[in-house]
Amino acid sequence: MLTVGVVGGTGYTGAELLRLLIMHPQVELKYVTSRSESGSKVADLFPNLRGFTDLCFTEPAAETLSECDVVFFATPNGTAMKMVPELIKQGVRVVDLAADFRLQDARVWKQWYGMDHACVDVLSDAVYGLPEINRAAIKSATVVANPGCYPTAVTLGFLPLIENNLVDDQHLIADAKSGVSGAGRGASVATLQAESAENFKAYAVDGHRHLPEIKQTLGRVATHDIGLTFVPHLVPMIRGIEASLYATLAVDLAADFTTDLHQLYNQRYADEPFVDVLDPGTIPETRSVKGANTCRISIFRPQQGNTIVVSSVIDNLVKGAAGQAIQNMNIMFDLEETLGLNQVALLP
């Protein structure tokens, strides 16, 4: 059994992480920390966990968390990097669900997050936790940077095209939409029901924090800098991301190449337990992945032209956050990768 701690267990990502960890057959959940809720029962804050855990929230402290095999950080950006160095000195392995270790360049981190990085030496050793491209490195990692939700959907959608040099990677477009849970559990006017219901809008068009993360990841695959226009949108639903991805072919292809594209994606993801390539002509739906650690993808070539369209859907709280974090934990500790993650999506 793995002894597990969760730092920052009061947000939506933390709640989903607790739900999945409690049901994991090889996990003993030992500590859940929160400064604001310290001393209160976890199940009082999250009544869906009533009968599944008697734990109380505690203050985050390296002395107690060092008793764990692995610690998850579901905290605001800038928190994990202050505690992680002490934990890894104590032999604890870390999965950070925030952005503290995603960007390898500390100058880029400061540009997008407005603060100096607190442990640049740890940053250089952190492994980006997208199993579909970094599984071997994740296995031996001490610190895993769990990918953002948008980057997961966008990267998995573009990946086979970039790997095979099929498209112009200087003019990629990602038109992505997310449910309001992606904004977190904190009070915000923009996510009030009266503001978000029956409404649909773009945001952060001039630059979203996930943009450099996506460009870094796809740039490593391409072995050079890529060009990407990324526009996120807020849609009036609780969970889910749909990313409509556009790329222009860089090579001449036969008119029936759509079939070959599906074969390409099927071959690339054949051994990936949480990527599902749909049959030609099938449209992915966010509700088909609600509560599941699955990315569903479909590929199109409208009018047999030179534009490829990929639709990629995930649950932003599962494959986009907590589920992927547990997938990484399973890899790190030589457990079956799907362990604790075989939930069927919720429908309707």
Whole-angstrom distance, CA of residue 158 vs CA of residue 245: 7
Q: C-alpha 318: how far from its chain's center?
A: 7
CA atoms within 13 A on the CB side of 279: 0
Q: Would residue 149 show up in a list of annotated catalytic residues for this protein? A: yes
User: CB-based contacts of 92: which residues, under 8 Å, 6+ apart?
Assistant: 65, 66, 68, 69, 70, 71
Helix and strand totals (H; E) in the chain: 12, 14
**What's the token pair of residue 213?**
């993360």
Whole-angstrom distance, CA of residue 3 vs CA of residue 28: 5
Q: Length of the chain in residues, anyone? A: 348
Whole-angstrom distance, CA of residue 41 vs CA of residue 6: 14
Q: Which of 68, 119, 149, 295 is catalytic?
A: 149
Give residue 234's identity as a one-letter amino acid code.
Answer: L
Query: Cβ(228)–Cβ(161) under 8 Å?
Result: no
Catalytic residues: 149
